[in-house]
Amino acid sequence: MMTAPYHLTRRDVAGLDLFRGLPAAALDEVLVKTQCRVLARDCRVFNQGDGHIRAHALLKGSVRISQSGRDGKQIVVRFIAASEMFGAMALFTDRRYLADAETLTEVVEVSWSEPDLLNLMTRYPQVAINALKVVGRRIQEAQYRVRELSTQPVDRRVAHTLLRLAKQAGRRAHDGVTIPFPLRRKDIGDICGTTLYSVSRVLTVWERQGFLVSQDQQLTITKLSAIERIADDEHTSPV
């Protein structure tokens, strides 16, 4: 909601996937077109259906992307960590792509308008190719989720979800890998297509078995191998 007490440097944009491999001159050009904002926790970055179509990236903090239907049912499309892109899908599809983006922490966020971005892509095709790589990775993930939802029971889906989050943004802690997002049971459920109740039950079991620790919406996986085993299902329980 406020504008930036944050000084952008060339390094900030150079670190983003979208601008990988660009000459310094191009980066400076990018910098000029960059809008930067600092947002508090629990802010909307953009809303379903506001005309606000820009490509975003996160320099600091985390964001939750979600969609919800009129029936109230909601899914989480993705959690965004620092240095990731988001909100760009609407650019490349008909602008009917709808999603909400909400900050989970304090956030430093940069963005570019559609014309500026197209302009950059035209003059530096590498930007477009980079974008293809990003989008390609996302589509791959979406496809994995589709397969999971189609074929796997709840506990395996939850396991996969935790592993993905850990891989995406996990941090080594003394006792395992910590997922740095503030995660509610409902978030996890909305990611992997189940209810907060089922998630709670599953996590309680795993916590009792010492596979993970859950505290203050912070999840730490203490026995990665166990979770992986469940995800990959060597899982015919040993009765």
Q: For binding to its own copies (CB under 8 A), which residues are involved?
A: 67, 69, 71, 73, 75, 77, 89, 91-94, 97, 118, 121-123, 125-126, 128-129, 131-133, 135-140, 142-143, 145-147, 149-151, 190, 193, 233
How many angstroms separate the CA atoms of 97 and 210, rounded? 41
Which of the listed partners (DNA, its own copies, none) does 140 bind, with a CB threshold of 5 to 8 Å by partner kind?
its own copies
Shortest Cβ 54–DNA spacing (Å) = 27
Going from the C-alpha of 21 to that of each of 55, 84, 111, 127, 193, the distances in angstroms are 19, 16, 19, 9, 37
Determine, following the binding rule CB under 7 A, whether residue 75 of this chain makes contact with DNA: no
d(CA 105, CA 99): 19
C-alpha dist (Å) from residue 23 to 20, 30, 124, 163: 9, 11, 10, 36
Nearer to its own copies among residue 121 and residue 213 (C-beta): 121
Write out the binding residues for DNA, residues 172-231 only, by CB under 7 A.
183-186, 193-198, 200-201, 203-204, 207, 214, 217
What is the distance between the alpha carbons of residues 171 and 167, in angstroms, rounded to a whole number? 9
Interacting residues toward DNA by CB under 7 A = 153-155, 183-186, 193-198, 200-201, 203-204, 207, 214, 217
